[in-house]
Chain A
Amino acid sequence: MAGSDITAPAPTERPAPDTVKILIAGGFGVGKTTMVGSVSEIAPLRTEEPLTMAGLGVDDLEGIEEKRATTVALDFGRITVSDDLVLYLFGTPGQQRFWFMWNDLSLGALGAVVLIDVRRPESSFAAIDFFERRGIPFVIAVNGFHGEHPYPVEDIRESLTLPEGVPVLLCDARDRTSSRDVLIALLDRLIATAAPTG
């Protein structure tokens, strides 16, 4: 393996920090990029990947209405956690047909935030199923339209039929503190499940 050569620290003044990532998932237009932008220390960045490079079969292109929709955009932001550790936040592509990108994205992720729009919660069901099936820890964050929350948390939890212990939070994705608190809730969940029991 050439791994040891590759991981050798760079001979520069500033050594490269360690990196981790968290995914911000949920249906199309639920506020993923908004949340990334509200906590990120940089304006959200975007990379675009041509669909043909992602190994799509012809059938998967069904439902792509316009010819120019030939790239999948990925929005992301960054939080410098400490001198030597940087957290990246990736908004997953909203449309279900881009599921193949989620596989790559979720590899090595600490966990995920699934954003829910109470007006159409079903648009986030695919994300919940995805993380549940792969055993990726997640929290549910209900993004209030204009910051308003007409339904109590328990009603939402019941309607989503979530596995036990998955936290459900009310949030405002536009608000930095609110979005930060969602991430903290995810970390608390990760720490609670990682800590040796008994």
Chain B
Amino acid sequence: MAEGDFAGRLVRPFTLTGGRTRPSRADFTLITMVTTVEPQPVEAARPQPEHTRILRLCAGPLAVAELAARLDLPMSVVVIMLCDLLEAGRITVRPPHHVTRTKPDLDLLQKVRDGLGRL
């Protein structure tokens, strides 16, 4: 692998998040739900325009994939901004239902089955 590429990977996300390394991008999946905190923290700095758009779209809970589609931005870029917003206490996130193959959640499966049956 080219040396430049390696350096780029180290530096780039670090710069975009203003030097912060937490929270991690792993906190966000395609179906993680994002909700804007209301009221917004008073001590927080004025949000950037892209951030303001996200905060407006997430006034009600919205999945990361939907957010990326509506912003017409790659998921990877949206996640970096979401990391900023989470760090600033402007949003809360709810991770998706934890699915395991070894101990399937029968109640959950039945709930999905019933919901589909009502369609």
Contacts and interface: CB of A to CB of B under 8 A. Distances in A.
Contacts, number: 150
Q: Which of A9, A19, A71, A135 has the most CB of B within 10 A?
A: A19
Dominant secondary structure of chain B at its interface with chain A: mixed
A11 B66 contact: no
B99 A108 contact: yes
B94 to A, nearest CB: 4
Interface string A143-161: 0000000000000000000
Interface in A149-196: 176, 180, 183-184, 187-188, 190-191, 193-195
Interface string A41-55: 000011111100100
A12 B35 contact: yes
B74 A48 contact: yes
Contacts of B93: 6-7
Contact of A87 (B23, B106, B112): B112
Interface stretch (A26-34, A59-67, A74-82, A121-129): A74-82
Nearest to A182: B116
Contacts of A78: 63, 66
A88 B62 CA distance: 12
Given A47-B74, A49-B76, A79-B119, A10 B65 contact: no
Interface residues of B, number: 48
Contact of A180 (B34, B60, B99, B119): B119
Given A6-B92, A10-B35, A79 B115 contact: yes
A90 interface: yes
Nearest to A82: B115
Given A10-B37, A20-B99, A47 B119 contact: no
B65 A47 contact: yes
Interface of B: 22-23, 27, 29-38, 60-61, 63, 65-66, 68-70, 74-76, 86, 92-99, 101, 104-106, 108-117, 119
20 contacts: A2-B22, A6-B27, A6-B92, A9-B92, A10-B35, A10-B94, A14-B60, A16-B34, A18-B97, A19-B31, A20-B108, A39-B119, A45-B70, A76-B30, A82-B111, A82-B115, A86-B63, A183-B116, A191-B106, A194-B109
Interface of A: 2, 6-12, 14-21, 39, 45-50, 53, 71, 74, 76, 78-82, 85-88, 90, 105, 107-110, 135-136, 176, 180, 183-184, 187-188, 190-191, 193-195
